[in-house]
Every structure is written in structure tokens, then in C-alpha cells.
Homo-oligomer: A and B are copies of this chain.
């Protein structure tokens, strides 16, 4: 089967590109002493995880318990759930561990740490727990110098069924850097926050085996990983226009695209409609911070590599994408029924609308279908 035979919209993954991206990250960490614990929240696919963990220690990061269940069932035994844990999810986490995986948890709250300790004892299941550190993104975590750091760490360390496993931070603000120099500065800030928090635990006589940091931009551009034990980039496997804008990759490194059909012409309004709208592309506009004409994604030829002029998806409704660009648009070259491929603004969000990837390997032949895990 060739791409042209697929129903649209469909999510295409180019294995050759993804393999190159995962090899690039493997080369990046080789010899640095840090372990690569790839974040599977973007790709959510066991087959992509095989590429991302090849040659590595085998652990991964997940963003949902659904991912944890799925990857554990696929044979991955060392998982970090990098979202703040609540007691209500602990029975599910225990079930995953009883099936043979280790699921490391995260908290940044003394009350939650105490409640997790109580619930773990009630369940009779032991968990490793990391303390989340705020390295400047201010989404979650305690500041490295905050008194709460030691308070939380002591609760975890003293709990009968919890182990204080270390510290974890994510410099989410790296996604809004203007240029590589700024990414390097954020990477250093991320590293120092994690290392400083770990040092405080050590000074207090508390264990801290894991010092975890990382986002794709900081993993790619950090000048030092000293003091870290692992990094957790994710979107580098697939990349997207946001990462192109950030300087993490080139357009040809983007490993997924949405295959769409032209479904209408609006010549009086100089628009071409495609069957990829809010659901098939997502409403994420993060790339717009860097690429002013990106809209909901660039419109490429069916080869996925050549942008068609300045075409982009300018507006979306549920099942309609409205393509804009030069006036007049190339209506004759893109008759109703013609195929295009749309590069995603933000791979994590676009891919979440699909339960599978149609896989090509550098060409237009569909060589495989890889499943994905969605939901919670």
C-alpha cells in the first residue's frame, strides 16, 4: 500500500527520520555519564520506544498511567511517571508494579507526600518517589532553596512504604527561548536547580540517587550535564515546527505529518479547504511564537518534504482546515481530492488525535502500522 491509498486524515510517521532523530540523541548522551530516559508522552508508541531506548539503559518517562500500563505490557520495566501523584491513583500504580514494572512517582507537596505514604501502606506496596524541583518554569515543583524541599524529602524518607528516590525538574520555559544562546542558559539553570536540590538532600543526610532533568531543547543544547544522573527529552523523536522555530532541528527532521485531502475550493475568498481541522491537527499554535506564517501547520506536497509555496492552515473548524497563502492559491494544482501533508506545530498534541501511525521508511510505501496509547 502507498500513502496515496490511505483514507484521510491519517498520521504518517517516517521511520527513517525517527531513527535518525533517536540516533542523534543517543550520540548526544554517549560518554556524558548521564542516562537517557526518553519521555514517551509525544510518541506514545512501543515501536518508537524501541528506537528511543536502543543502546540505552531501558527506562522511560511517561505522562499518564495509561502510558505506564501500555509500556509495561510492552516489556518496559523502569518507568517514571513525571506528573504530580495523588493518592487516588496509587491503587492503579500498585497494579502496574505488581505486574512486574517499577513505577517511580513524583510529588512537590508535603500534604500529598503524607497522603501517599498512608495510601502506600494501606495498599502494602512500596514506591520510589522523586521530589519535583522548580527550575524556573514555575509550573510545578519546589524551589531548590525552599524549606519545603527538605520537609517533603523527610516525609518520603521516613515513610514505611515510600523510598526517597531523588529529585526531578523540567525546564518547560526552554520552549519559549529566543535563540540557542537562551536555551543554553535555561539548560544551565535547569541543571543547577536539580544539582543544588540534590546537594541540599545530601547535606541533610538524605538519599538522592536520581538527579533528573531535561527537555528536548535543553538536552540538545546543554553545555554540561555535570551532577545529573539522567535526562528526559521526548519530542526529539518526532520533532515539529515549534522545535524548528526553537532551533532544535531542521524541517527535514520532522518525523510525522498529517495526510489530508483537498475537500473544497473557496475561490471568492482565496481559500482551499482540507479535511484536517481542529481534531486532525489540534488547535495548538505554539510554533507561531517563532514562525509568523505557520497558523495550524505548513502545507507540504504529498512527499512531505516540499512546502507548497507559502501555504499554511490559517484557520480550523472541527473537520475543516482552511488553507491560505499566495493570492491566488494554486487551485488548479490542488483540485478537490488532491493530497497534501501538513507538518504539525506541536507533535505531542497533534499525534494525540490518532490511535495509530501509518509508517513509511523514507518513501511513500506504507511499510507498517504502529499503535499508540491515548487517554488516561
Interface residues of A (CB under 8 A from B): 7-10, 41, 63-65, 83-89, 92, 107-109, 111-112, 115, 132, 134, 138-140, 143, 172, 261-266, 268-269, 271, 273, 275, 278-280, 282-285, 317-320, 322, 335-337, 348-349, 352-355, 374-376
Sample of 24 A–B contacts (CB below 8 Å): A7-B89, A8-B86, A9-B376, A63-B318, A63-B319, A83-B319, A84-B275, A86-B262, A86-B336, A86-B337, A88-B261, A108-B265, A109-B264, A109-B336, A111-B335, A112-B336, A132-B264, A139-B266, A143-B268, A172-B317, A278-B284, A279-B352, A283-B285, A353-B375
| A320/B140 in contact, CB under 8 A | yes
| A355/B375 in contact, CB under 8 A | yes
User: What 8 A-B pairs come out closest when comparing CB atoms?
Assistant: A84-B263, A112-B336, A84-B264, A283-B283, A86-B337, A109-B336, A63-B319, A140-B264
Q: How far is the CA of A140 from the CA of B321 in the complex (A)?
A: 11
Contact of A283 (CB < 8 Å), options: B64, B107, B282:
B282
- A116 to nearest B CB, angstroms? 9
Contact of A322 (CB < 8 Å), options: B41, B139, B266:
B139
Q: How far is the CA of A352 from the CA of B138 in the complex (A)?
A: 29
Q: A7-B65, A263-B83, A279-B352 are in contact. Are A115 and B337 (CB under 8 A)?
A: yes
Q: How far is the CA of A115 from the CA of B266 in the complex (A)?
A: 18
| B375/A354 in contact, CB under 8 A | yes
Q: A269 — which chain B residues lie within 8 A by C-beta? A: 138
Q: A317 — which chain B residues lie within 8 A by C-beta? A: 139, 172
- A276 to nearest B CB, angstroms? 10
- A171 to nearest B CB, angstroms? 13
The interface centre, meaning the residue of A10, A84, A266, A284 with most chain B CB atoms within 10 A of its CB, is: A84
| B322/A280 in contact, CB under 8 A | no
| B140/A337 in contact, CB under 8 A | no
Q: How far is the CA of A86 from the CA of B353 in the complex (A)?
A: 22
Q: How far is the CA of A279 from the CA of B41 in the complex (A)?
A: 11
Q: How far is the CA of A14 from the CA of B269 in the complex (A)?
A: 41
| B336/A115 in contact, CB under 8 A | yes
Q: A283-B282, A336-B84, A336-B86 are in contact. Are A349 and B318 (CB under 8 A)?
A: yes
Q: A282 — which chain B residues lie within 8 A by C-beta? A: 283
Q: How far is the CA of A275 from the CA of B10 in the complex (A)?
A: 28
Q: A266 — which chain B residues lie within 8 A by C-beta? A: 134, 138-140
- A6 to nearest B CB, angstroms? 9
Q: A336 — which chain B residues lie within 8 A by C-beta? A: 84, 86, 107, 109, 111-112, 115
Q: How far is the CA of A108 from the CA of B336 in the complex (A)?
A: 10
| B83/A349 in contact, CB under 8 A | no
Q: A279 — which chain B residues lie within 8 A by C-beta? A: 349, 352
- A239 to nearest B CB, angstroms? 16
Q: A263 — which chain B residues lie within 8 A by C-beta? A: 83-86, 140
Contact of A108 (CB < 8 Å), options: B10, B264, B322:
B264
Q: A337 — which chain B residues lie within 8 A by C-beta? A: 86-88, 112, 115
Q: A349 — which chain B residues lie within 8 A by C-beta? A: 278-279, 283, 318
Q: A89 — which chain B residues lie within 8 A by C-beta? A: 7-8, 261
Q: How far is the CA of A107 from the CA of B374 in the complex (A)?
A: 33
Q: A318-B349, A319-B64 are in contact. Are A376 and B7 (CB under 8 A)?
A: yes
Q: How far is the CA of A239 from the CA of B140 in the complex (A)?
A: 32
